[in-house]
Amino acid sequence: MAEIIDGKKVSDEIRAEIKLKVAELKEKYNSVPGLAVVIAGNDPASEVYVKMKEKGCDETGINSFKYVLPDNVSKDELLSLIDKLNSDSKVNGILVQLPLPKHIKEDDIIGAIIPEKDVDGFHPINTGKMVADQECFLPCTPNGIQELINRYVKNLKGKHLVVVGRSNIVGKPVANMMLQKNKRADCIVTVCHTSAPDISVYTKQADILVVAAGRANTVTGNMVKDGVVVIDVGVNRINNPHDSTKTKVTGDVDFESVAKKASAITPVPGGVGPMTIAMLLSNTLKAFELQNM
């Protein structure tokens, strides 16, 4: 049976380190990092994520400033809020929760955040630097995935890492980051996605498999080789098979069958999710340091 990759435990360790550093900043400079969190509309999943981000700030001593906007907010209103936050010295990081209401082009809003405050690592300047392996804000979920892989897999050099999914938030950045010629990466990377006639052709070759497909049961035990390390990025709400009145959260991987063959696997919940928040807090601390020191 596979070792469980405990994202909650690793994220707690990282959050404890951040809390200490924030307390030191408060002591030394009488000032702490600040994160602005903007949410537009009432997507229930986004509301849950934003609450978790605020809680993460509270627990580490980071100031959070929440802006809740209605579903019919105009692009200009959103842009003027971003402008205000860009020039507010108490705000070191700006996070606009995605998805935005359909009438607003996300790229227009993300592009308006100054790259120095783009703690999500979504601005094209940060994306470009990430691809070129330059110092930048790395996107939080891929950064958390890389951290977990590095803590649980020794000697990544030449390992075959297969990514299922090609989103801008996970698939593409993970592939780029794990391909880099540095000690935290140096993998041979394959990206596959829903246009493949049979993704198992690729998943079977993986030493490390990152699944970010957005669909439950995308990868089952017969699609992986023995000893694979599996990172499940999926968050899917499905009917609870044991109680039809309830739902439960599951990943993109069929945990039961894959865990029988894997050497290590992330659970859902408790795997990648907590790491995303830890990396957001870490980026906010980094933004404060870059802006003040």
Q: Comparing C-alpha atoms, which of 50, 65, 62, 64 is closest to residue 20? A: 62
Q: Which is nearer to ligand GUN, 39 or 185 (CB)?
A: 39
DSSP code string of 211-279: E--SSTTSB-GGGS-TT-EEEE---EEEEETTEEEEEEEE-SB-HHHHHTT-SEE--SSSSHHHHHHHH
Which one of 6-14, 89-97, 196-204, 211-219 is the stretch in contact with ligand GUN (CB under 6 A)? Answer: 89-97
Interface with ligand GUN, residue 118, by CB under 6 A: no
Q: Comparing C-alpha atoms, which of 100, 106, 105, 133 is closest to residue 122? A: 106
Task: Give 154's DSSP letter.
Answer: S
Interface with ligand GUN, residue 287, by CB under 6 A: no
Chosen residue from 39, 140, 191, 262 binding ligand GUN by CB under 6 A: 140
The minimum distance between CB 274 and ligand GUN, in angstroms, equals 13
Q: Which is nearer to ligand GUN, 262 or 277 (CB)?
A: 277
DSSP code string of 159-220: -EEEEE---TTTHHHHHHHHHSSSTT---EEEEE-TTSS-THHHHTT-SEEEE--SSTTSB-
The residues, ordered by sequence, that sit 6+ positions from 29 with a Cβ below 8 Å of its Cβ are: 292
Q: Which is nearer to ligand GUN, 63 or 97 (CB)?
A: 97
Please count the other Cβ atoms lying within 10 Å of the Cβ belonging to residue 168. 14
The minimum distance between CB 184 and ligand GUN, in angstroms, equals 20
For residue 120, indicate whether it is catalytic: yes
Task: Give 104's DSSP letter.
Answer: S
Interface with ligand GUN, residue 177, by CB under 6 A: no
Which one of 64-72, 95-103, 229-237, 241-249 is the stretch in contact with ligand GUN (CB under 6 A)? Answer: 95-103
Q: Which is nearer to ligand GUN, 129 or 225 (CB)?
A: 129
Q: Catalytic residue among 8, 28, 55, 97, which? A: 97
Q: Which is nearer to ligand GUN, 120 or 254 (CB)?
A: 120
Q: Catalytic residue among 19, 28, 43, 120, which? A: 120
Interface with ligand GUN, residue 145, by CB under 6 A: no
Chosen residue from 14, 32, 91, 95 binding ligand GUN by CB under 6 A: 95
Q: Which is nearer to ligand GUN, 138 or 140 (CB)?
A: 140
- The burial of 44, by beta-carbon neighbours within 10 Å (0-12 exposed, 13-18 middle, 19 or more buried), is given as exposed
Chosen residue from 119, 169, 264, 278 binding ligand GUN by CB under 6 A: 169
Task: Specify the residue for token string 């200490």.
Answer: 20
Interface with ligand GUN, residue 113, by CB under 6 A: no
Interface with ligand GUN, residue 275, by CB under 6 A: no
Interface with ligand GUN, residue 98, by CB under 6 A: yes
**Helix and strand totals (H; E) in the chain:** 10, 11
- The amino acid that residue 139 corresponds to is P
- The amino acid that residue 147 corresponds to is E
Chosen residue from 141, 218, 250, 282 binding ligand GUN by CB under 6 A: 141
CA pair distance 211, 217, nearest whole angstrom = 10
CA pair distance 93, 100, nearest whole angstrom = 18
Interface with ligand GUN, residue 120, by CB under 6 A: yes
Residues lying near ligand GUN in the complex (CB under 6 A) = 95-98, 120, 140-141, 169, 276
